[in-house]
Amino acid sequence: MSNPPWPTGKKLVHLDLKGAPPKTEYLHQLIECFSQLGADGLLVEYEDMFPYEGELKQLQATAQPAYSQDEILSLQKVAKSKGMEIVPLVQTFGHMEFVLKHQAMWNLREVSDCVGTLNPLREDGLKLVMEMVRQVVELHPGLNTLHIGADEVYRLGEGETSKLWLASTGRTVEQLFLTHVVSVARYIKKMWPHMTIIMWDDMMRGMSQDTLKASGIVGLVQPMLWDYTPNMDVNKTVSLLEKYYSAGMQDVWAASSFKGSTCVYTNVPSTQRHVENHLQWLKVAASLPTGLNLKGIVMTGWQRYDHLSVLCELMPVALPSLAACLQTLFHGQLSPEAQSKVNKMLGVSSVEAEFMGSASGDSILFPGRTLAEAIVELDSLISSEDIMYFEKNMYVRGWFSPYHRARRMLNPLIAVQIHCQASRYLAMLQQKVDVVREQMSSFYPDSTAQEWIEEHVSPVMAPLQRIIDEISACTMKIVP
């Protein structure tokens, strides 16, 4: 049975730039693509790719240059020409790894071994956050909506200053969290009274209505409730939204996911998994209390789980998933008609990137198509058991074990067979790696290609190369 389509409200695509930041030209193509697929706007998480100035200049990325001010403005211009809104996301509490990793900022951490959480009681920490917000807002002329993050504020309350604050009777970690968020939101409202402020909801999930009401947060911010799982608990989610509504938070947002939430190192997304997540969100949207204003849904596409983790699926390989999820929202289900629409729009034979098939020429609505195909092929190869577990195959384990290698014992005939097989696999991998690297250089900085290959391919190629080298060394000792 299908659900009603997504009710009114915006459909924003999340652009996570803290990993694999696309080149500007490719960003423009992606915005065009998102627009044609039916998105209304973008939630842009710049992180270290924002051109911070002054004392904050040290926050800029070093693996590749941050975007320039002109590039940030051109991004807005292209979005505006498509009628798309841009909502910047600036982390102001948790997930501040890109700030707090710098030695000059270590003293602003809540606890020394947690790189993500800001100490909420330090005046200079609050000043730093306000300056980040100020620079981002000022480089977005006419901005109406800002997201202040505030998710996953780990280890809060464990720092020395926080412990002192909490020692006063009746004070709780919940209040400590809310006090900081309210300070940030009030500053923003004072500077830009018209600004709508959004924040992630997870730190408020366990809080009572009374705690929320007493904090002063009601009316200041709009919570964005996120859940990326395919088996999301609909009743639990609805009751959580009802709690926010009863506390006085009438304007709420949802956040689903089209990539970057399956596993921290996934290369190719499962469209089905993400479609199922959207089907659950459609059930939630159909069960909301009257009066609650669902402002929209952000379809997240994480590029890293956090600043210090590896790259998730790159954008090109996730476009079929994004298109399928948007169609699911429009139709209430991914019907055969909706699937066929995605196939036609992107020029694919399946909404699953793994089986999308190759196309002659680059489909206009699928920027990065050739890179997506190359990634799918290479991912399939590095995941194959023959290559992944080469050191465990019968010949290597039986005739070229660590025992044999250490003693330079070798059956030359079988050694030739192992050498040939390893060399063949290595050549196949190298050929596909070269294609991926070349394709990536069109869309991403060289640092992204380097990181992706070192992360996903090098660990698979290294054992093959090692066996080849060791066989060559052993053969010299045993074959005249």
Task: Tell me: do 454 and 305 sit in the same domain.
Answer: no
Task: Tell me: do 152 and 46 sit in the same domain.
Answer: yes
Residue 362 lies in a domain: no
The catalytic residue among 25, 45, 138, 152 is: 152
Task: Tell me: do 229 and 133 sit in the same domain.
Answer: yes
Q: Which residue among 337, 356, 375 closes a domain?
A: 356
For residue 223 the two structure tokens come to 């919570």
CATH assignment at residue 253: 3.20.20.80
Task: Tell me: do 263 and 398 sit in the same domain.
Answer: no
Which secondary structure element, helix H or strand E, spans residue 478, and what is its range?
helix 458-478
Contact at 8 Å (CB) between 139 and 197? no
Residue 379 lies in a domain: no
Residue 160 annotated in active site: no
Closest CA to 278 of 303, 298, 262: 298
Task: Tell me: do 349 and 449 sit in the same domain.
Answer: no
Q: Which residue among 338, 356, 374 closes a domain?
A: 356
Task: Tell me: do 113 and 193 sit in the same domain.
Answer: yes
Closest CA to 348 of 37, 11, 38: 37
Residue 376 lies in a domain: no
Asked whether the CA dihedral 345, 350, 356, 357 is positive or negative, the reply is: negative
Least reliable range by pLDDT among 72-81, 117-126, 412-421: 412-421
**d(Cα 163, Cα 68) in Å, to the nearest integer?**
41
Residue 371 lies in a domain: no
Domain that holds residue 286: 10-356
Task: Tell me: do 154 and 245 sit in the same domain.
Answer: yes
Residue range 449-459, pLDDT digits in tens:
999 999 999 99
Residue 267 lies in a domain: yes
Residue 3 lies in a domain: no
What pLDDT is attached to residue 361?
66
Q: What single-letter DSSP state applies at residue 289?
A: P
Task: Tell me: do 388 and 350 sit in the same domain.
Answer: no
pTM of the model: 0.95
Q: Which residue among 310, 341, 356 closes a domain?
A: 356
Average confidence (pLDDT) over 102-116: 97
Contact at 8 Å (CB) between 1 and 44? no
Task: Tell me: do 270 and 411 sit in the same domain.
Answer: no
What phi and psi values does residue 8 have, to the nearest 5 degrees?
-60, 165
Count of domains in the chain?
A: 2
Residue range 162-211, pLDDT digits in tens:
999 999 888 999 999 999 999 999 999 999 999 999 999 999 999 999 99
Task: Tell me: do 350 and 393 sit in the same domain.
Answer: no
Residue range 210-222, pLDDT digits in tens:
999 999 999 999 9
Residue with tokens 């089907």: 279
Residue 57 has pLDDT above 70, yes or no: yes
Q: State the distance between the two ends of the chain, measured CA to CA, in whole angstroms.
A: 74
Question: In angstroms, what CA-CA distances link 462 with 121, 388, 456, 468, 469?
Answer: 48, 11, 11, 10, 11
What pLDDT is attached to residue 96?
98
| Cβ-based neighbours of 255, under 8 Å, separated by 6 or more | 14, 200, 224, 225, 226, 227, 228, 297, 298, 299, 300
What pLDDT is attached to residue 404?
86
For residue 453 the two structure tokens come to 């290959």
Task: Tell me: do 194 and 316 sit in the same domain.
Answer: yes
Contact at 8 Å (CB) between 42 and 79? yes
